[in-house]
Amino acid sequence: MKKITDEARPGSAEIESILRELIAIRADMVADLSVSHPRLDEVHSNYRDSARNLLHYLALRRRDLRPLQHRLAALGLSSLGRAESHVLATVDAVLVVLHRLVNGHWQPPSQSSQEAAVVDFSNGQRLLAEHTDALLGPVPTGRGVRIMVTMPSEAADDYLLVHNLLQQGMDCMRINCAHDNVAAWLRMIEHLRRAELALGRSCRIVMDLAGPKLRTGPLEPGPTVVRIRPSRDIYGRVIAPARIWLTSETSACPPPSPANACLPVPATWLGRLRAGELVKFTDARGARRTFKIVDVTDCGCWAEAIKTAYIVPGTVLRHERGLGKGMTAKFRLAACHPLKTRSHYSKGICSF
């Protein structure tokens, strides 16, 4: 057997650090229980011990335990990963061992009236088994799990559906009260009771009450962005330029053929455009881009682009006659309305 060297053993400083962290966690668990004591009095006595354990579990899981769990595992100790049914007892057991590792002695502090019934390991397993049986029914013969089935809306009007589910082994019918209504729930239950008589089987019913639901009002729309991009092959090379339809903002005409984008522009500015001329702009990302006018019609102009551009309201378009060597006319886009699919363009639909 390989001898464990001192260097391989976690140092006492590391163990002391883990101890401080775990003691702080235990203190939070006890403090939370004290704050919630008035509400515990409202819990039925059959479930009060489990309610205390649940509060301990919630306090424990408020933290990200992963770093601590890794450190405990390095010591060969419980990582607290299976403490659900006996949370405080698990923490206390780990604390006892950690103190022994540094030649110390520790026992849980004397319990207050709120902590009078700490759920230990054996009681935790017993309570878990008892409450599981009460909720889901006894363990079926031949298998170790229960089958819970959430009822669809159809179960309210389809007796055979419920009958078949019970026949195939359903142990618990779950009714989600966030859906349907009281009348539908009652019909589901009536179908189940009828199926129980027909099959000689029993089945629990769990009604899951609907919790609060968040509702939002109309959302303020974000900025309109028109993305214009050419077609590229799998290597990113341009195989077809993007086609942009420019039309008058006062008397818009739909593009006569499929387009990648459709922009409304002032009629006077549109009338200056000629084939072969350029329209330059800086897009929403700050990238310098260019459209080339390739065709002029009575309804609008076709432009092409070989680089991707993002256009938003306020983008300034500059028309440079004679490839930039002559008069320049510019304007600021008041609005741009991207269409959802290219099929809108191909069907001649364009809204401004």
User: Do residues 305 and 244 make contact, with C-beta atoms less than 8 angstroms apart?
Assistant: yes
Residue that is written with structure tokens 């009348």 in the block: 183
Query: Strand 238-240 to strand 288-296: parallel, antiparallel, or no bridges (unpaired)?
Result: unpaired
Q: What is the pLDDT of residues 57-95, one digit of tens each?
A: 898 888 888 899 899 988 888 888 888 888 888 898 899
Based on DSSP, count helices (H) and strands (E) in the chain, helices before strands: 10, 14
Tokens of 19: 């101890």
* Nearest Cα to Cα of residue 22 among 77, 103, 85: 77
At position 166, the amino acid (one-letter code) is L
What are the residue ranges spanned by the domains of the chain? 8-133, 137-208, 226-346
Q: What would the pLDDT profile of 268-321 be if each residue is shown by its tens digit?
A: 888 889 999 999 999 999 999 999 999 999 889 999 999 999 998 889 999 876
**Nearest-angstrom CA–CA distance, 292 and 295:** 9
Say if residue 8's pLDDT is above 70: no
Could you confirm whether domain 226-346 is CATH 2.40.33?
yes
pLDDT tens for each residue of 332-349: 887 665 544 343 433 333
Question: Vertex 346, ends 340 and 351: CA angle to 5°?
Answer: 50
Q: At 333, list the tokens.
A: 């886009």
Place of tokens 């700490």: 118
Residue 13: count of CB within 10 angstroms of its CB: 9
Strands (DSSP E) contained in the chain are: 148-150, 172-176, 204-208, 226-228, 231-232, 238-240, 242-248, 261-265, 278-282, 288-296, 300-305, 309-311, 316-320, 328-332
109 versus 48: the higher-pLDDT residue is 48
- Residue 224 dihedral angles phi and psi, to the nearest 5°: -75, 130
Judge whether residue 10 has pLDDT over 60: no
Kindly report the CA angle at 184 between 179 and 188, in degrees rounded to 5? Answer: 105
